Amino acid sequence: MKTNNEQAKIVLVTGGSRGIGKSIALHAAERGLGVILTYNNRSEEGLAVAAEIKGNGGKAVALQLNAADIRSFSRFAGQVSEALRQEWNRENFDYLVNNAGIAQRTLIKDTTEEQFDELVNVNFKGVFFLTQKLLPLINDGGQIINITSGLARFAFPGVAVYGALKAATEALTRYFAKEYADRKIRVNSVAPGAIDTEFGGGKGDEAHRQQIAASTALGRLGEADDIGAFVVSLLSDDSRFVNAQRIEAGGGIMI
């Protein structure tokens, strides 16, 4: 497979219905990329993001995906192929952003096996098998970005499994980069700091928010657009020699 440079690039963003993923989808469309975004439960919000992109003259498709449902990935890959053919008359896309994720709010002593397994399935196993399943559809020379977390580097109480899985995803990033180097597919992770979205029910009361801001060199929580703009800046040839890296976008949190 060869990328045709005259064609607009296409990005697939998981969890593009809200928060960081929505911002990635909108910024990508602004830069002229075609967008395939996924939602899980909130179909209206996912479809609204695609409609907003189309309303602004871009091209977008919204598809349902549960990142924990590994058995649905073959069917999902078929839907991606169908969307590529119908919307773009293409067989392949260029960039995959594994953004969908769920939070944890339980101390180690209170964490059940069910909670542990759900976190593993969405935040790690799903990332591995979805990427495996979609790689045949990604153009040679493309890029995969895994959204990880500052919590892969530093520890807070209540997020042990989540943080450990994000660290595992950062290790996986390097392994994917190694095994797909022959296709010149670059694989990087972007680790957001504390971002003001609905994630895990949001960032809590004012005192907690101020505490987070105080532990961040830039003195504030991040916005979804801080991450969306940055991720999309990586989705071009300007980052062509950046590979197998963890890049933290956290305003200098916990330094």
Ligand X SMILES: NC(=O)c1ccc[n+]([C@@H]2O[C@H](COP(=O)([O-])OP(=O)(O)OC[C@H]3O[C@@H](n4cnc5c(N)ncnc54)[C@H](OP(=O)(O)O)[C@@H]3O)[C@@H](O)[C@H]2O)c1
Q: Are 10 and 94 in contact (CB under 8 A)?
A: yes
| Spatial distance between the Cα atoms of 173 and 31, rounded to a whole number of angstroms | 25
Min separation Cβ 197 and ligand X, Å: 3
SS3 content of the chain, % helix, strand, coil (to 5): 50, 20, 35
| Bridge pairing between strands 10-13 and 34-39 | parallel
Among 62, 134, 165, 195, binds ligand X (CB under 6 A): 195
**26 near ligand X (CB under 6 A):** no
CB 62 within 8 A of CB 45: no
Applying CB under 6 A, which part among 33-41, 134-142, 173-181, 235-243 lies near ligand X? 33-41
Decide: 141 and 184 in contact? Cβ < 8 Å: yes
Of the two residues 139 and 161, which places its CB atom closer to ligand X in the complex? 161
Q: Is 198 in the site for ligand X (CB under 6 A)?
A: yes
Find the catalytic residue in 39, 162, 175, 180. 162
Cβ-contact 160, 105 below 8 angstroms: no
67 makes contact with ligand X (CB under 6 A): yes
Q: Is 95 a catalytic residue?
A: no
Q: Give the nearer residue to ligand X in terms of CB position, either 17 or 173.
A: 17
Shortest Å, Cβ 242 to ligand X: 19
Q: Is 42 in the site for ligand X (CB under 6 A)?
A: yes
Total residues interacting with ligand X, rule: CB under 6 A:
29
Q: What is the largest distance, in Å, between two alpha-carbon atoms of the chain? A: 55
Binding marks (x or -) toward ligand X, 138..177, rule CB under 6 A?
Answer: ---------x-x----------------------------
Residues 148 and 190 sit within 8 Å (Cβ to Cβ):
yes
**Of these, 9, 12, 21, 80, which contacts ligand X (CB under 6 A)?**
21
Q: CA 86, CA 71: separation in Å to the nearest integer? A: 24
In angstroms, what is the minimal distance from the CB of 123 to ligand X?
7
Instruction: State the Cα–Cα distance between residues 129 and 100, nearest whole angstrom.
Output: 14
Q: Which amino acid does the sequence have at 32?
A: G
State the residues that interact with ligand X by CB under 6 A: 14-15, 17-21, 39-42, 45, 65-68, 99-102, 122, 147, 149, 192, 194-195, 197-199
Active site residues: 162
